[in-house]
Amino acid sequence: MLDAESLVGHKSQLQLLNRMIDSSTIPHALLFSGPEAIGKRLAAFSFSASLLAPKSDVQGAAVSRTAALSQVWSNTFPDFHVLAREHDARDISVENVRSLCDELMLKPYYGGRRAAIINDAHRMSLAAANALLKTLEEPPPSTHIILITHAPHRLPPTVVSRCQQVHFAPLPAAEISAVLQRLLAACGLSGSTAKELSSLCDGTLSALQLDPYLDPATSQPNDIAALTEHFEELSTKVKALRKQCRALAAERPTVSNVTRVCQSLFGTKEQLPLARTIARQEVRRRLLEGPSESRANALIRFLEAERLIDSRSAQAELQLSAAMIQAYCR
């Protein structure tokens, strides 16, 4: 049974994973796909913990279930490995993937299963993906690899075809709100801050840029003070950006005025997830009032911007700006 107190939603996916464990029909490779910041990584940790922990604390077990679960959540279990892109690196390197594959070829420390998670698997370089492919084609016994990605189309088809996919959908508004309210309550925040931040959540928490402030295994805050400061700064920034957008709507927008607002929205790459959310909401709101031709052109621009953001293209900001101009300057 999966153990994840912090995991919200995804009932059908968790039921599927539990059936795999209960029936001992666990694929050697799984691909967890779906939008960013909806709980895929937390589900992967929970699934790995259930794979590696004994079914009960039976006498004579190499490690008790309680100890195994604790070690997996803290990433100290010897038969559990997590691979992610190194800080400031563009890709997951082929050297790191080869090192992981070498580890997986060794005999399990406790004599049971091994599990590995590759987070943001779409960030593997082509050489890294090819290095992983051999292990996926000829997996060591009792070894299970979980790839996590929000962009499965960026993985080589040969890798995808060797994994059983489990797709995680965006979370309903009520479930997103429950997660956010829990985090805000831990920081002692409510009222206008909660309202501003909730407005950014569209089935995912990705626009809130919480990764640096949450434990990757449990999604619990690492540092309450730092998270509180982040929430407050984010709320202030959102209010300012929305104020500029409302000011545009109150006048007859010009290309130069919209461009000025876009420069504030898309000023830095770090702000791009936030800007994308605000731009999406503003374009959607404006297009509901606009003629069909203008609506279609702006939507085409926006979809192209989404594609470019996903591929980390420097042209993404230009396409977002073009979508905003199309929506406002009709």
Q: What is the pLDDT of residues 34-68, one digit of tens each?
A: 998 898 998 999 899 888 886 655 555 556 767 77
Q: What are phi and psi of 7, to 5 degrees?
A: -80, 125
Query: Any idea what DSSP says for residue 314?
Result: T
pLDDT at 207: 80
Three-state secondary structure of 207-236: HHCCHHHECCCCCCECCHHHHHHHHHHHHH
Distance CA 216, CA 74 (A): 10
Q: Between vectors from CA 199 to CA 6 and to CA 309, what angle results, nearest 5°?
A: 85
Query: Any idea what DSSP says for residue 92?
Result: B
Tokens of 144: 């299970």
Tokens of 245: 């957008």
pLDDT at 286: 67
Distance CA 326, CA 299 (A): 9
pLDDT at 254: 66
Query: Any idea what DSSP says for residue 139?
Result: P
pTM of the model: 0.79
H/E element, 76: none
Residue with tokens 């009709």: 330
State the distance between the two ends of the chain, measured CA to CA, in whole angstroms.
Answer: 55
pLDDT at 67: 78
Per-residue pLDDT of the chain (330 residues; tens, 9 = 90+): 565 556 778 889 989 998 998 888 999 999 999 998 898 998 999 899 888 886 655 555 556 767 777 888 888 899 999 999 887 788 999 999 999 999 999 988 886 899 999 999 999 999 999 999 999 999 999 999 999 999 999 999 999 999 999 999 988 888 888 888 888 888 988 767 777 787 788 788 888 888 889 887 777 888 999 999 999 888 888 887 777 777 766 666 666 766 666 666 666 666 666 767 777 777 677 666 665 655 566 666 666 656 555 555 556 666 666 666 666 665
Distance CA 104, CA 107 (A): 8
Q: How is domain 11-167 classified at the CATH fold level? A: Rossmann fold (3.40.50)
Q: Do 226 and 233 form a contact (C-beta atoms < 8 A)? A: no
Q: Which amino acid type is present at position 328? A: Y
Residue 240 CA: distances (Å) to CA of 132, 145, 260, 285:
46, 44, 14, 18
pLDDT at 211: 86
